[in-house]
Structure 1
Amino acid sequence: MNNLIYGIILSALPIAELRGGVPLAMSSGAPIWMVFILCVLANILIIPVVFFFLDFLHERFMGRRFYRVLFSKIVNRTRKKIEHRIGTKWEYPALLLLVAIPFPGTGAYAGSLAAWLFKLNRKKSLITIALGVLIAGVLVTFASLGIYSLI
C-alpha cells in the first residue's frame, strides 16, 4: 500500500509525473483501475496550482528590472516565432500533444508552463491539459501492464 501512496505523490511531482507514478503504484498490487484513477487525478489536480504558482512568481519578479527585460526579450520573441510557425488554430492540439506523449520533459507541468507563457485561455488550457493527462495515463498504464506481464 505504501507504493500506491508514493505513486500518487510521484504523479503530482514534476519530472516523473505519470511516467514514474503509475508503475510505482502498480507495484503495490492495488487494482489497476484504482491506480489509474488516483494517479491521473493527482496529475490533473496539480494544474491549477501550477498556474497559480506561475502567476504569483511572475507578479513578484516583474518588479525586478533584470527579470522584466529578460522575460520580455525571450518570451515575446518565442511567442512570435511559435505563432508564426504553427498559427493560433493549432495552439490547443499542440498543447494536447505536448502533454499526452509521455516523454521526459512533457506532461502537465510542461503543458501548464506552455499555456501560461503563450497566454492561452485558462479554461480551455485546463481542459486540454487534463485530456492530455488522461491520454498519457492510458499510454503509461498500458505500457506498465506490458512490462509487468513480461516480469
Structure 2
Amino acid sequence: MEFSLNEWKVLLLSTVPLGELRVSIPYGIYIGLSPIKTFLLACIGNFLPIIPLLLLLNPISDIINKVPKINNYYQKFLMKTRKKSGNVEKYGAIGLLLFVAVPLPGTGIYSGAVVAFLLGIRFWYALISLTLGMVTAGIAITLASTGAKQLSSLIYDFEYIIAGLFILSIAIWFIKKKRN
C-alpha cells in the first residue's frame, strides 16, 4: 500500500506535539482526503509517539535529577503539575482518558503522557487511556471538521469505533474496580 504525499503530510502532522490531531484532521479534510481516511491516518500518526514517550519519560527524569541546576526547576515543575492534576489524579486512568479526549490545546497525548508519568499511572493503563482518549478526540475533531452537512453519513462509519470505545471503557472500569 502506497501513501500519497498528502496522506504522509496528515500522518506526520499528527505526530508533532503542537498540532497533533487538532491540526492534522482539519488539514486532511481541507486538502480533500476523505474524513475516514484522514481520521485513520491522523490516529495512526498520533499513536506512534505514545509508547516511546511512556518508556522514555522515566529515564529522562532520572537524568534531569542528576543535574543540580536543572533539578531544582524540575522539582518545582513536578510539584505544580501534581497540584493542578486534581481530577486526573482522582480518577486515575479514566481521568487521563477524559483529559486527552477533550480536544483543547495542551490536552493531547504528549501532555497526557507527562501527566501519566507524574501521577505514576502504570504503563498499560496509561497506554490504553491515552489511545482511547486520542481516538475520542479524533472522532470529535473529525465530526467538527466535516460539519453538520456530512454528520449523518459519518455517524454510520463511526458507530463501530464508538462501540469499541464503549467496550474498552467498560474493560478499564472493571480492571480499576478489581484493582480496588
Q: TM-score per shorter chain, which class?
A: 0.7 to 0.9
- Structure 2, unaligned stretches of length 5 or more? 151-180
1:8 aligns with 2:16: no
CA positional deviation for 1:45: 1.9
Letter of the structure 2 residue corresponding to residue 5 of structure 1: W
Correspondences of 1:33-52 after superposition (within 5 Å): 33-52=36-55
2: CA distance, partners of 1:144 / 1:34: 13
Moved over 6 A (4+): none
CA positional deviation for 1:39: 0.8
CA positional deviation for 1:73: 4.4
CA positional deviation for 1:46: 1.2
Corresponding residue number in structure 2 for 1:105? 106
C-alpha distance after superposition, 1:49-107 (max 9, x if no partner): 2223423322222211123333334424653x468x54855122221121111111111
Corresponding residue number in structure 1 for 2:161? none
Identity of aligned residues (%): 30
In 2 relative to 1, CA 93–87 (structure 1 residues): closer, same or farther, beyond 3 Å? closer
TM-score with structure 1 setting the length? 0.83
1: CA distance, partners of 2:93 / 2:128: 10
Q: Is the 8 A contact 2:88 2:96 kept in 1?
A: no
TM-score with structure 2 setting the length? 0.71
Corresponding residue number in structure 2 for 1:124? 125
Letter of the structure 2 residue corresponding to residue 131 of structure 1: L
Corresponding residue number in structure 1 for 2:31? 28
Quick one: higher RCO (CA 8 Å, sep 6+), 1 or 2? 1
- Structure 1, unaligned stretches of length 5 or more? none
Q: Is the 8 A contact 2:14 2:21 kept in 1?
A: yes
Q: Is the 8 A contact 1:7 1:23 kept in 2?
A: no
Letter of the structure 2 residue corresponding to residue 63 of structure 1: K
Letter of the structure 1 residue corresponding to residue 93 of structure 2: Y
Q: Number of paired residues?
A: 147
Correspondences of 1:34-73 after superposition (within 5 Å): 34-73=37-76
Q: Is the 8 A contact 1:95 1:128 kept in 2?
A: yes
Q: Is the 8 A contact 1:47 1:126 kept in 2?
A: yes
2: CA distance, partners of 1:14 / 1:148: 30
Q: Is the 8 A contact 2:15 2:45 kept in 1?
A: yes
Residue range with higher mean Cα deviation, 59-68 or 92-101: 59-68
Q: Is the 8 A contact 1:5 1:25 kept in 2?
A: no
C-alpha distance after superposition, 1:16-38 (max 9, x if no partner): 10010011122332332221111
